[in-house]
């Protein structure tokens, strides 16, 4: 054990995937920087851990194979191989994993377009489709229902998302505003986002959105909300995200490591689904499916109301 490695966990050795993820999450803050790096990769790429050799896994998470052995021993396993069996057991009952889907989709979409810009497009589309399918495995009905309930009953909805997450924050503001919810985007312009967040109360809700490498201001705003006992709905990439610890509702959209700029297709779909779930509550009792009106529809509704004589 190196001097930077944390002492071995004293907790029971997990024999299922949920157990090892929960244990890693609980001990994450006490791990060394290298072990935290390994923990992030293992929890975000469980199929890679299950299916590939220790050398292949080590290369992909930028660690030495011996570090993976010590990491496994940290959590009570005899070595990496014993821990890998837990990840393999998960695959026996889980739906096809991310990389397996990529392989199948690549076969379906193969069309001799492997080079140039169309080749880039093909690979991006394959990964996006796989990521969108993966949402069905990671998002639960209970989480969607709880998030929608919070966003429906909140006095004010605050949204924080910066860097590559900013488009998601802007989209959510647009959708919820169209549903006539009171929404405040904690825009970093002017440097006032933390001061605006200081007005968060218990009857409000914060939607915090951030992925690797986590925007420090968004993390700070989430911590401030938790201190004010404001419910937090977090959209992030892992249970090990700094947003996870303060989240009342946590949505994780795992991101595969690859050379292209990481896509927002899956988290955009999730944001849209959350908004539709809110619409479903607000429009309960109507025979039609949940509907998010456009600006034109809202203006037309106002015009009709203005032309309708008031009844005494």
- Domain coordinates of the chain in residue numbers? 17-93, 98-138, 141-296
**Is 3.10.20.30 the CATH classification of the domain at 17-93?**
no
Average pLDDT, the chain: 84
What is the percent of the chain where pLDDT is above 70? 85
The closest of 284, 197, 210 to 240, measured between CA atoms, is: 210
Q: Give 312's pLDDT tier (boundaries 50, 70, 90).
A: very low
149, pLDDT greater than 80: yes
d(CA 265, CA 262): 9
Please write the tens of the pLDDT for every residue from 158-206.
999 998 899 999 999 999 999 999 999 998 877 888 888 889 999 999 9
Check residue 108 and give its pLDDT.
54
- Tens of pLDDT along 233-266? 999 988 888 898 889 999 998 776 544 567 899 9
Which residues fall within 8 angstroms of residue 166, CB to CB, at 6 or more apart?
none
User: In which band, very low, low, confident or very high, does the pLDDT at 2 lie, cut at 50, 70 and 90?
Assistant: very low
pLDDT of 98-113, one tens digit each? Answer: 555 555 555 655 555 5
The CATH number corresponding to 141-296 among 3.30.450.20, 3.50.50.60, 3.40.50.1820, 3.40.50.10490 equals 3.40.50.10490
Alpha carbon of 303 to those of 16, 261, 300: distances in Å? Answer: 59, 44, 5
The pLDDT of residue 221: 94
Q: How far apart are CA 148 and CA 183, in angstroms?
A: 14
């Amino acid at each position: 054990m190196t001097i930077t490695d944390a002492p071995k966990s004293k907790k029971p050795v997990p024999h299922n995937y949920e157990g090892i993820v929960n244990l890693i999450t609980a001990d994450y803050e006490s791990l060394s920087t290298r072990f935290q790096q390994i923990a992030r990769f293992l929890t975000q790429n469980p199929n890679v851990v299950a299916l590939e050799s220790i050398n292949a896994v080590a290369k992909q998470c930028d660690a030495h194979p011996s570090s993976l052995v010590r990491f496994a021993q940290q959590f009570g396993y005899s070595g990496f191989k014993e821990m890998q069996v837990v990840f393999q057991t998960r695959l026996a009952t889980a739906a096809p994993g991310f990389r397996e889907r990529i392989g199948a989709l690549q076969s379906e979409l193969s069309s001799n377009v492997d080079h140039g810009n169309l080749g880039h497009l093909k690979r991006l589309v394959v990964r996006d489709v796989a990521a969108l399918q993966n949402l069905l495995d990671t998002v639960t009905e209970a989480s969607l229902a709880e998030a929608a309930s919070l966003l429906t009953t909140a006095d004010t909805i605050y949204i924080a998302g910066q860097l590559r997450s900013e488009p998601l924050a802007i989209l959510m503001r647009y959708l919820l505003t169209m549903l006539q919810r009171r929404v405040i985007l904690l825009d970093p312009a002017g440097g006032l986002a933390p001061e605006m967040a200081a007005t968060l109360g218990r009857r409000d809700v914060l939607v915090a959105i951030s992925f690797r490498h986590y925007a420090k201001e968004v993390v700070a705003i989430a911590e401030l909300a938790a201190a004010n006992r404001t419910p937090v709905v977090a959209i992030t990439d892992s249970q090990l995200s700094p947003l996870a610890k303060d989240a009342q509702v946590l949505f994780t959209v795992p991101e595969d490591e690859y050379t292209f700029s990481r896509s927002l297709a899956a988290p955009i779909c999730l944001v849209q689904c959350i908004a539709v779930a809110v619409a479903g509550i607000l429009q309960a009792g109507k025979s039609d499916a949940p509907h998010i009106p456009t600006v034109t529809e809202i203006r037309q509704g106002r015009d009709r109301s203005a032309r309708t004589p008031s009844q005494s």
